[in-house]
Amino acid sequence: MTKSDTKGCLTIAVLPAQTGQRLDKFIAAAPEIGSRAAAQKLIAAGLVTVGGSERNKNFRVGEGDLVEIRVPPPAELQLEPEEMDLSIPYEDGHLLVVDKPAGIVTHPAKGHITGTLVHGLLGRQIAGGENPHRPGIVHRLDKDTSGLLIVARDDETHRRLSEALSRHKIERTYLCLVCGLFETREGTIEAPLGRDARERQQMAVTRRGGREAVTHFRVLESWGGARAAGRAGTVSASKSAGGYSLLEVKLETGRTHQIRVHLAAIGHPVAGDSVYGRRRDELGVGRQFLHSSRLRFTHPETGETIDVSAPLPPDLETVLDRLRSR
């Protein structure tokens, strides 16, 4: 459990699963800290205590320990426009839809104060929302996930889009390649998600304290295993038979890392995902094979249906070409 106060002091209780961790590793897992190097700097500066006493970075925490971290206030962040070659498949005076390339962080955050999608869009009059470092951002994609995002150009549009998102009125469709074959052609994963008890920067399916998360999927193609079928057939091979499956995934909710965690939880991690999937990238994807391919929503001002699609980027299409040519 983590608590924070208005003076920037974090208090973290050590859970049973975290017993025995080094102090620097333990606090590095807090999203507010973010790295082992940052953790060690705080410890060296005397800003970390365990049970009220300063400890060195090698100290092993125990169950029930209260770790207090005094986090210095962040330096003032000044947003400046940056030149980026971005594809904008839809835009009008109220909003735009951008096709985010893989490798770009959506908005500024710890460790990413330049080079984000927000920096690349500042020259396009994006605005809206309470966070001045995330102007216009309605929802986000992970750094190594490509595809479509909606960005607002004024406060009212941002408010309406955010409300539509919370009410599940924005249809978000993804394409992803996962490990293994399926016994059924489509399905739904309903499992609450929360912070992983051991690795606090990761998410996990959790029984207590998690938030509702629902993911729908449909098998489009599959490769490997004697009974795997193509686009027009029925996939009946066991998930233990190996191979790969291309899925169309629709989000009913939008939790952090939802698709990646849900699919890994049922034994079908996203190909190329070294965090929640296999450490070895057998297909040479180079990142998680996950692409936001379609957005469908009602325009908050005009009421018309906006339906935007984005094809797979070349790096992911090349992986499919190799599988199809086997």
**Residue numbers annotated as active site:** 142
Starting at the earlier edge strand, list the strands of the sheet with 66-70.
Answer: 2-4, 9-13, 66-70, 48-50, 53-54
Backbone conformation region of residue 119, classed left if phi is above 0, alpha if psi is from -120 to 50, else beta:
alpha
Q: What is the 3-state secondary structure (H, E, C) of the chain?
A: CEEECCCCEEEEECCHHHCCCEHHHHHHCCCCCCCHHHHHHHHHCCCEEECCEECCCCCECCCCCEEEEECCCCCCCCCCCCCCCCEEEEECCCEEEEEECCCCCCCCECCECCCCHHHHHHHHCCECCCCCCCCCECCCCCCCCEEEEEEEECHHHHHHHHHHHHCCCCEEEEEEEEECCCCCCEEEEECCEEECCCCCCCEEECCCCCECCEEEEEEEEEECCCCCCCCCCCCCCCHHHCCEEEEEEEECCCCCCHHHHHHHHCCCCECCCCCCCCCCCCCCCCCCCEEEEEEEEECCCCCCEEEEECCCCHHHHHHHHHHHCC
As a whole number of angstroms, the distance between CA 98 and CA 88 comes to 5
The Cα 315–Cα 81 span in angstroms is 27
